[in-house]
Every structure is written in structure tokens, then in C-alpha cells.
Amino acid sequence: MGQLEEDKLHGKGKMEFGSGAKYIGDWVNGAMTGEGIYIFPNGTLDELSDQSRGRWDENKAHGIGRLDFINGDRYTGDWVYGARTGEGILSFANGNMEFGSGAEYTGDWVDGAMTGEGIYIFPNGNRYERRYSQLRYGCVLNYIGFNKFRGDEIRE
């Protein structure tokens, strides 16, 4: 539903896919391009995510955007053709993750993985700064509110 040009969605429009997913936003020559929101069907296309909103290019998240997870977690930041790449914030809604209840990660991403320098901020105000390499833990840069320091380490 929306504007058509040469039998392709072009301009503002809404598409419901066979999977049950929906996209509402800008289209260019039949591709999701520009501002829009992609709503995942629960448990089918992406069982962890609920919706993705932001900028799109050729059917992929590209630019600044947000990914909301079903459990309440949220990633807000840079995307490069469908992958979290650049700076972003990953906020955790509950204590189901090892990071603790309500923890937040702010830092660099490459191809969807925490890579480079990042900071975890815990609900009690503790901060844990560390260097990452494709989700591997690197050296501890600084932390506030913790009692132990382990220095350089790489852990899978």
C-alpha cells in the first residue's frame, strides 16, 4: 500500500510480507530506503527482535537506528548495511544477561560485534571500561566501583 512508480513502491508506503513482517516508511524503486520501521513477526523471522526503526538503504538498516528486542533490551546506534557497525548503545532490560539488571553498554561495534573500546554502566553507577575484539574481552582500561583488577586478559 502506498505510492507507486513504474509498478514499484516509491515514496511513502506500507508492505506486509508473507512472513507476517511489516515495513512502514520510505521506498525507492521497490526497496526499503530512507526512514522506516520494520516490525518482526514474533518468533518467525527473528525470534529475538520485535522491531527495527531508523534509516534504511536497499532493504538493510543503514545509518542511525534502533533495534528493540522482545525481552526489552535495546540497541541504538550506527548500522552499515544490516550490521551494527560504528558507535552504539546496548541497554539491557533485566538480569537475564551476565551484565546485571539494567546494565548498559556504550561503545564501538563492527559487523554486529562489540569491538574496540566500550563501557558498561551498571544500575548502581559502577562503570567498567574495557577493550573488545569481536565479542572477546580484551584489556581492562578502567573501572569504578569494583574491588579487583586483573589487567590484560583475552577470554572467549
If one counts the domains in the chain, the total is 1
Residue 8 lies in a domain: no
Q: Dump pLDDT digits (tens) for 71-89.
A: 778 888 899 998 888 888 8
More confident site: 110 or 11:
11
**Cα of 5 vs its chain's centroid, Å:** 32
Residue 130 lies in a domain: yes
pTM of the predicted protein model: 0.65
| Structural domain span for residue 103 | 71-156
Residue 37 lies in a domain: no
Residue 106 lies in a domain: yes
Give per-residue burial for 25-34: e unless 16+ CB within 10 Å, then b: bbbbeebbbe
Residue 18 lies in a domain: no
Give the Cβ contact number of residue 84 at 10 Å. 23
HSE value, Cβ hemisphere, 13 Å, CA-based, for 101:
1
> Of 63, 67, 3, which is closest to residue 29 (Cα–Cα)?
3
**Cα of 149 vs its chain's centroid, Å:** 30
Q: What is the mean pLDDT of residues 87-101?
A: 61
Residue 145 lies in a domain: yes
Q: Dump pLDDT digits (tens) for 23-34.
A: 999 999 999 999
Residue 63 lies in a domain: no
> Of 102, 43, 42, which is closest to residue 72 (Cα–Cα)?
102
Residue 96 lies in a domain: yes
